[in-house]
Amino acid sequence: MQASYRQFCPVAMAAEILGTRWTIVLIRELVAGSTRFNDLRRGLPRMSPALLSRRLKELEIAGIVEKTAAAADRSSHEYRLTEAGRDLKAVIESIGIWGQRWVRTDLALDNLDPNLLMWDMRRNLKPSPLPSVRNVVEFHYTDLPSSQEYWWLIVEPDGEVDICSVDPGFEVELYVRTTLRTMTSIWMGFSTVATERKTECLVLEGDPGLAKNMQTWLGLSHFASEKKRI
């Protein structure tokens, strides 16, 4: 933990707990519903496992997180927010809204990460507009190295969504060819599918229905509806 501010002010005391590196974005992942260590890592791909373990332990000590045995497998654990942790949801949302409104778009799009983007797209995807069969969408990010350029979103008939960075071997209904920057801009609400298709920065091939409704089923960032103030 960081050194104390030695102030009785509630803001200072809260900052001692929440102000350490990665803590706020870790709480963001917990608020978003991730409970398993590996799922938290997927939402925080640039955070080392050792630091993640340390921050979780610190949040336990602070009474924000509780560690429990997983219901499905008692040998593994889940991390869930306590009442104090759940009370931080409004704080996280307020920080996100401020960032969406006031952080310049070019700065936001300088921090690109295909792992995080695909994980967030998986989490926010809306299965209901899709046909009630398995739907596979292949993303080809033309600006990434060969080890990262292809990703697949798999939507099962029951609405379960998964991502793969290795070809799952299923028939693909929609092929998406674009750059990571363009796809991130769409997901963040800075641009739209229609706009990027017109400029041919986004090329869709395959099922015309999936292509037409992509803006709907994609499931944008929670903050995408917030308009820039700068």
For the CA atoms of the chain, what is the radius of gyration? 19
Paired with 206 in beta bridges are 174
> Which 8-state DSSP code applies to residue 199?
T
Backbone angles phi, psi at 154, to 5 degrees: -120, 120
Query: How far apart, in Å, are the Cα atoms of 22 and each of 47, 88, 195, 205?
Result: 8, 15, 34, 39
Question: What sign does the CA torsion over 15, 230, 186, 126 have?
Answer: positive
Residues ≥6 apart with Cβ < 8 Å to 122: 153, 161, 162, 163
| 149: its two tokens | 């350029």
- Assess contact for 184 and 151: CB atoms under 8 A: no
Distance between CA atoms of 65 and 188, rounded to whole angstroms?
28
Per-residue pLDDT of the chain (230 residues; tens, 9 = 90+): 556 777 889 999 999 999 999 999 999 999 999 999 999 999 999 999 999 999 999 999 999 999 999 887 777 899 999 999 999 999 999 999 999 999 999 888 888 999 999 999 999 999 988 988 999 999 999 999 999 999 999 999 999 999 999 999 999 999 999 999 999 999 999 999 999 999 999 999 999 999 999 999 998 999 999 998 98
Residue type at 151? W
Distance between CA atoms of 212 and 216, rounded to whole angstroms?
9
Spatial CA neighbour of 185 closest among 110, 82, 81: 110
- Asked whether the whole model's pTM tops 0.75, one would answer yes
- Assess contact for 187 and 224: CB atoms under 8 A: yes
Longest pairwise C-alpha distance within the chain: 61
Where b means 16+ CB within 10 Å and e means fewer, 85-119 reads beebeeebeebbeeebeeeeeeebeeebebbbbbb
Distance between CA atoms of 160 and 164, rounded to whole angstroms?
13
